[in-house]
Amino acid sequence: MKVAVVGLGTMGKVHADAWAHIEHAELVGVCDLDRVKAETIAESYDATPYQDLSEMLEQSNVDVIDVCLPTYLHKENVALAAQAGKHVVCEKPLGLNVQDAQDIISVCEDHGVQLFVAQVVRFFPEYAQASAKVKSGGIGKPGVVRLTRGGGFPRAWEDWYADEAKSGRLILDSMIHDFDWLRWTFGDVERVMTRRVSRSDEDRPLEYALVTLRMEDGTIAHVEGTWAHATFHTSFELTGDKGMVVHDSAVSAPLSVSLHHNEGDASKNGVAVPESPLNENPYLRELKHFAHCILTGSEPIVTAYDALKAVEISQAALESAKTGQPVVLAKMGGGVR
């Protein structure tokens, strides 16, 4: 199976590296507007560099295109790949809104290619384990579940994350991970209420949101999303009438390195750098799973429809942030399918 990655920023690099470690996959092409990025990465993995997706589609004989472009570019580029008859892996969020996500699914269906969306949290072992624990009755009837995700404000190519029209900012870009996990674990969302604050001060933009969701099964969820903290962390607390599961990335890191005085760099003095190594990181697990599904035709752990529903929840949360009132999902444009 021949694979090519388009968009070689933070995620594209992670995906390229993962593909290079998958047995039945061969990373043949990498594509980025930035020629230096494309060439550097191509060299590390013995792939061919491209600067233009159409050119890569014509010249390389790939089976799968992995789209790691900024969110607002997913739609047109997935369409190019699908029209060329390639299976598609696409980074989350699938689209900027329900309409875009639906269009992306349709274009893949129309051209008979498979579509996999990288809702990677389902491949984080702590999240997968907790979901299974809840589903097997481990906490009994769920009560209130609390999730936290975030760190600093993301800075990337052309500062596209800062533009809500390009990224959906915090709620669509980051909190979608927890929304998808909630729906995977508890089922569909009934209504969602958002409180959001943002500051776009010169060099220190911030965004922070507290979202309350009522799931159709009655579970109450509280999701904290932050681009206002100094370091990245995730946590969850899942309570039910028969138990509670708690996780905090700041507490569970098994390895921490802290160095004495660094010559020439006293600022790093004594700062502990925690790590949580795994034999296979979640991105590798995810892409391995998608490769397996492509080769065997089996149903993925996360379907394109799941990805669409996650966009729908995020869109409702964004709407609530604007109106200050809860948004009922079934009432949103008649709901999705």
Partner 1 sequence: MKVGIMSFAHMHAFTYAGLLLAHPDVELTAIWDDDFERGDNAAERFKSTFYADREEFLALDLDAVVICSENSRHRDLVVQAAEAGKHILCEKPIATEIEDAREMIAACKRNGVILQIAFPVRFAPSISRARTIIQSGQLGDILAVKATNHGQMPGGWFVEEPLSGGGAATDHIVHVMDIIRWTLQTEVKDVYAELDTRFYDIDVEDCGTVSLALESGAIATIDPSWSRPKTFPMWGDVTLEFVGTKGTLSVDALKQSSTYFNDQESKVQNLGWGDDMDQGLIDDFVQCVKIKREPSITGEDGLRTLEVVKAAYQSSTAKRTVPLERVHV
Ligand X SMILES: NC(=O)c1ccc[n+]([C@@H]2O[C@H](COP(=O)([O-])OP(=O)(O)OC[C@H]3O[C@@H](n4cnc5c(N)ncnc54)[C@H](O)[C@@H]3O)[C@@H](O)[C@H]2O)c1
Q: Are 25 and 49 in contact (CB under 8 A)?
A: no
Decide: is 156 part of the binding site for ligand X (CB under 6 A): yes
Q: How many CB atoms lie within 10 A of CB 270?
A: 10
Single out the residue of 17, 66, 100, 173 in contact with ligand X (rule: CB under 6 A): 173
CA distance 102 to 91: 15
Residue numbers at the binding site for partner 1 (CB under 8 A): 141-144, 146, 191, 193, 195-197, 199, 201, 204, 206, 208, 210, 212, 214, 218-220, 222, 224, 226, 228-230, 239-241, 243-244, 324-326
Binding at 276: pick from partner 1, ligand X, none (beta carbon under 5-8 Å per type): none
- Kindly write down the DSSP assignment for every residue of 106-152, as one continuous string: HHHHHTT--EEEE-GGGGSHHHHHHHHHHHTTTTSSEEEEEEEEE-S
31 or 329: CB nearest partner 1 = 329
Nearest approach in angstroms of CB 163 to partner 1 is: 20
List the x/- string, 108-147, binding to ligand X by CB under 6 A.
----------x-x---------------------------
CA distance 60 to 163: 33
Binding at 210: pick from ligand X, partner 1, none (beta carbon under 5-8 Å per type): partner 1
Q: Are 153 and 205 in contact (CB under 8 A)?
A: yes
Nearest approach in angstroms of CB 156 to partner 1 is: 22
Decide: is 59 part of the binding site for ligand X (CB under 6 A): no
Binding at 195: pick from partner 1, ligand X, none (beta carbon under 5-8 Å per type): partner 1
Single out the residue of 70, 95, 205, 225 in contact with ligand X (rule: CB under 6 A): 70
In three-state secondary structure terms, 1 is coil
Decide: is 152 part of the binding site for ligand X (CB under 6 A): no
Which of these, 45, 50, 44, 7, lies nearest to 25 by C-alpha position? Answer: 45
CA distance 17 to 216: 39
